[in-house]
Amino acid sequence: MEPKPPPQLSLKREVGLTGAVALIAGTMIGSGIFMSPQYVLLTIGSPGASLVVWACCGFLAILASLSYAELGTVIRESGGEYIYILRTSGPPVAFMLIFSSVMFVRPAGVAGIALSFAEYAVAPFYADCTPPVFVVKCVAAIAILVLATVNCLNVRFAMSVQVFFMVAKVFALLVIVIGGVTMLIQGHVHNFEDSFANTNVGINPIGIAFYQGLWSYDGWNNLNYVTEELKRPKVNLPRAVLIAIPMVTVLYLLVNVSYLMVMTPNELMSSSAVAVTWGNKVLGRWGWIMSVAAALSAFGSLNGTFFSGGRVCFVAAREGHMPDILAMAHVHRLTPSPALIFTTVISLLVLIPGDFQSIVNFFSFTAWFFYAITISGLLYLKIKKPELPRPYKVPIIIPILVLMAAIFLVLAPIIDNPQIEYLYVTLFIFSGIIVYIPVIHYKLCPGLLTRITLFLQLFLEVAPADKNL
């Protein structure tokens, strides 16, 4: 009689359609819509042009996510861009992505959202002055640690947190929209007279305005990181995208119109927290509610970023591009806790020197560089491997348009206004190759790493997890 094979350990499919919509919309509606509007307006120069930028950002996010939905149904593995680049462009390019993503892009995203959560959370206590940087960073660190704990404990609980915060923030945005509609009925339209005057029409202002706008849409690709935990991915992946992203785009446009109904462009540009300024003007002494809503919004977005970010680390380790310990899941809770703990530690390190504005620009530059490579991979599969089963297809013009937009977004700030920081970021991305050749290709991993892995495996109660296809 043959011995029974040991039971396989894998992440469970616990994300349904509601959870999927919450993961996309709940991560997209983060701090951006409460903070970025003044940066978009400041860069582009006029209210009318800023609304055009917001609409175009939404349109681009819809096209990009539809392209990703096709990729997600062809390559049915978790890991988002990483796994798609690995399967279409090969291990070296995929390692460059994971190296910059794990060391910079993801932690920068987590740190940026945590900082904005902290700014809003402490704002009511410092009504007449700017809150101390140390206090803001301590609150941001506490938020990161709380959500790391939640995500390590239970997938279903993390999803419940995500759905709750999505409902809360959609409600908060609806309050802003209704306030704007009330102002419109009362005839407050003077801020829209000659609304395209003073528009900055240059490659750099348009590129930077898009970076700031797209920061608010970041999270459109979140579902592709957790494909293996999604129930019926062939159906739910495209469906969730088509529900969540148009909903967020319409909400964002209406919220921006509402901001401009209440505030003059100069007031909006000089505000450090647009939603709070709006709340103080429209809701009077109830203005603090907007501060709480913005903090809750950022907290929910941070949870979604954590949920998906830990999975990227986990998948890369499973493919041999990160230490083995990161490809393990907790034996009872079935959460990728080592990958989540690793993401937490790096995020806390990035938090120490970071400021919101620079984090956004360099985060966007790196992210769109890899989005361009991913979309090129989809075009390659469409042209070279049309026979692959595709439950969901997009017309080839859609990925072509996204690729053109991605190339523009990568090159625009460099061509028009070269900054040395962009060179540093580019060198950092390509430095992944220097690590890849000895560590991954030639496997120069000393026995010490094996001993550390065994110790951590016992300490964290984790075991290797299989693919859940």
In the structure, what pLDDT confidence band is assigned to residue 4 with cuts at 50, 70 and 90? very low
Please count the CA atoms within 13 angstroms of the CA of 349 that sit on its side-chain side: 12
Residue recorded with tokens 């100069």: 266
pLDDT in tens, 403-439: 999 998 888 777 767 777 777 778 888 888 888 877 7
Element (H, E) at 462: strand 462-464
Residue recorded with tokens 């910059």: 100
CA 398 to chain centre: 21
Mean pLDDT for the chain overall: 82
Give this prediction's pTM: 0.83
* Mean pLDDT across 235-255: 90
* Mean pLDDT across 108-137: 82
Confidence at residue 376, expressed as pLDDT on a 0 to 100 scale: 94
DSSP letter at 230 equals: B
* Residues 139 and 131 sit within 8 Å (Cβ to Cβ): no
DSSP symbols for 89-127: T-HHHHHHHHHHIIIIIHHHHHHHHHHHHHHHHHGGGGT
pLDDT in tens, 5-42: 445 566 667 778 888 888 888 888 876 787 778 888 88
Confidence at residue 151, expressed as pLDDT on a 0 to 100 scale: 84
What proportion of the chain, given as a percentage, has pLDDT over 70? 91
SS3 252: helix
CA 384 to chain centre: 30
Confidence at residue 122, expressed as pLDDT on a 0 to 100 scale: 85
Residue recorded with tokens 């992210």: 367
In the structure, what pLDDT confidence band is assigned to residue 170 with cuts at 50, 70 and 90? confident
Residue recorded with tokens 């809750």: 296
pLDDT in tens, 327-355: 788 887 777 888 888 888 888 888 887 66
